[in-house]
């Protein structure tokens, strides 16, 4: 017998989707646009709900604009939308607010969610449409404003940006690769995008940097570095410099193609990502001490190419005092096989920090990982402090064989 899902999971889905659509789901008092349940009547004392409260109230400039009601089964979508309409009408009766958008969300992870959007036109709640098609997602602020301006039950759906499209494409390819390959044999472990962004911010990658990832996979680190550096670029010369400042390697032709496509759609027409091994003699010579930032998530537990070899190659690619950051299998910092390597590493470089990550970061792959930060070609000084930390919760949780935010 299938277990019943809590309605809180549907509310979690609403928060996730609202964020993706550009909403700040923080409380209004914290600069956000969202109030949930009792927060609504606590913030708006005169909203006319009494003891009844919808699941969500979204505001623009602190003015209530739409109500969302959730249910835990897709079959309950009609109930969800009718309850959302009920709350809108109850609020509107106060004459203090005029909410014209009601949204119902119903479903759960196993079978998916259904979203219906209604617009109040001439005292009737009609489906909100764009180009003749009903809206089936949470509208953005711009789409809400367009609907209110038209006032006829229509809006203009925003076309996804290139960045949104390529991020989606990347996730699609990664899902395909996970199920289409024996990734345990290949050692393929894709770095979550929020982790690549975190690492890039952690070492303050900037427009002045030269960046490399010698095992770039689908390009997660390079994409995050490019996005951060591009946002700092002003003028055509600066933009051209950013495009020429990123370099990568990957031996898998399919994954290499995706990383190249990732960079191409971001305007990096040259795309300095090579479909070859970083350990080739000519590769080693071409990148030696030419970069200021190196990122890495090496293939895990490969007999012929242990993680330490990738770390060494990354450090060799860095200029003196260049910064290295890697999300790496934690075993290399404690096992006997790598004891001599650890001693040699600190003779040549400085270990700056170690950040232990949640055990299920790469779930369902079982890999305990650590973020390693180091400075290249500067020997570790006796007694020099090393930053140590642990992240217990990265904002994601396990559910049905995957992790969701």
**Structure confidence by residue, pLDDT tens digits, 188-209:** 557 788 889 999 999 999 999 9
DSSP state for residue 28 in the 8-state scheme: G
> What was the pLDDT predicted at 363?
59
Residue with tokens 């009766």: 93
Give 281-299 as a DSSP string.
HHHHHHHTT-EEEEEE-PP
> What was the pLDDT predicted at 161?
59
Return phi, psi of residue 193, to 5°: -65, -30
Mean pLDDT, to the nearest integer, of 224-236? Answer: 87
> Above 80 in pLDDT, residue 352?
yes
Cα–Cα distance measured from residue 4 to residue 10, given in angstroms and rounded to the nearest whole number:
12
Specify whether the CB–CB gap between 331 and 293 falls below 8 A: no
3-state secondary structure of 369: strand
Most confidently modeled range among 101-110, 259-268, 313-322, 330-339? 313-322
Cα–Cα distance measured from residue 299 to residue 217, given in angstroms and rounded to the nearest whole number:
9
**Structure confidence by residue, pLDDT tens digits, 26-46:** 999 999 999 999 999 999 998
Cα–Cα distance measured from residue 238 to residue 249, given in angstroms and rounded to the nearest whole number:
24
What pLDDT band is residue 3 in, cutting at 50, 70 and 90? very low
**Structure confidence by residue, pLDDT tens digits, 60-116:** 999 999 999 999 888 999 999 999 999 999 999 999 999 999 999 998 876 778 999
Cα–Cα distance measured from residue 197 to residue 293, given in angstroms and rounded to the nearest whole number:
14
3-state secondary structure of 260: helix
> Above 80 in pLDDT, residue 392?
yes
Q: Which residue has the higher pLDDT, 2 or 301?
A: 301
Tokens representing residue 19 in the block: 């964020």
Mean pLDDT, to the nearest integer, of 150-173? Answer: 69
Residue with tokens 């930390």: 389
Cα–Cα distance measured from residue 137 to residue 144, given in angstroms and rounded to the nearest whole number:
12
3-state secondary structure of 139: coil
Q: Which has the closest alpha carbon to 93: 37, 136, 47?
A: 47
DSSP state for residue 187 in the 8-state scheme: T
> What was the pLDDT predicted at 147?
94
Cα–Cα distance measured from residue 132 to residue 154, given in angstroms and rounded to the nearest whole number:
8
Q: How many CB atoms lie within 10 A of CB 96?
A: 12
> What was the pLDDT predicted at 243?
81
**Structure confidence by residue, pLDDT tens digits, 117-144:** 999 999 999 999 998 889 999 999 999 9
Entry pTM: 0.59
Q: Which residue has the higher pLDDT, 168 or 263?
A: 263
Domains of the chain: 7-150 (3.90.1570), 162-404 (3.40.50.150)
Chain centroid to Cα 41, Å, comes to 32
């Amino acid at each position: 017998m299938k277990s019943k899902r809590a309605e809180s999971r549907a509310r979690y889905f609403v928060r996730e989707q609202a964020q993706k659509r550009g909403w700040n789901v923080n409380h209004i008092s914290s600069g956000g646009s969202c109030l949930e349940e009792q927060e609504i009547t606590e913030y708006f004392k005169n909203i006319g709900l009494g003891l009844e409260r919808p699941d969500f109230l979204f505001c623009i400039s602190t003015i209530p604009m739409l109500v969302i009601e959730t249910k835990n089964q897709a079959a309950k979508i009609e109930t969800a939308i009718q309850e959302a309409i009920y709350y809108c009408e109850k609020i509107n009766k106060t004459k203090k607010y005029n909410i014209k958008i009601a949204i119902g969300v119903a479903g759960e992870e196993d079978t998916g969610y259904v979203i219906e959007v209604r617009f109040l036109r001439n005292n009737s709640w009609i489906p909100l449409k764009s180009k003749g098609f009903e809206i089936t997602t949470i509208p953005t602020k711009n789409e809400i404003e367009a609907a209110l301006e038209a006032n006829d039950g229509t809006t203009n759906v925003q076309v996804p940006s290139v960045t949104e499209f390529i991020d989606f494409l990347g996730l699609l390819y990664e899902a395909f690769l996970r199920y289409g390959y024996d990734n345990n044999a290949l050692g393929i472990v894709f770095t979550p995008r929020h982790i690549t962004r975190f690492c890039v911010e952690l070492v303050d990658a900037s427009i002045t940097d030269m960046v490399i990832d010698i095992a770039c996979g689908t390009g997660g680190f390079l994409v995050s570095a490019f996005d951060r550096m591009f946002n700092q670029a002003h003028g055509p010369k600066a933009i051209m410099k950013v495009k020429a400042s990123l370099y990568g390697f990957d031996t898998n032709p399919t994954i290499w193609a995706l990383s190249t496509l990732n960079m191409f759609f971001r305007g990096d027409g040259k795309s300095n990502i090579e479909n070859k091994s970083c350990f080739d003699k000519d590769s080693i010579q071409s990148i030696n001490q030419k970069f200021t930032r190196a990122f890495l998530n090496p293939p895990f537990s490969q007999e012929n190419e242990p993680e330490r070899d990738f770390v060494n190659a990354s450090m060799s690619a860095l200029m003196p005092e260049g910064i290295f950051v890697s999300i790496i299998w934690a075993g290399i910092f404690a096992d006997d096989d790598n004891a001599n390597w650890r001693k040699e590493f600190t003779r040549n470089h400085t270990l700056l920090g170690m950040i232990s990550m949640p055990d299920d970061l790469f779930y369902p792959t079982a890999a305990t990982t650590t973020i390693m930060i180091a400075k290249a070609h500067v020997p570790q000084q006796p007694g020099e402090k090393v930053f140590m930390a642990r992240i217990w919760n990265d904002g994601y949780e396990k559910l049905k064989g995957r992790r969701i935010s």
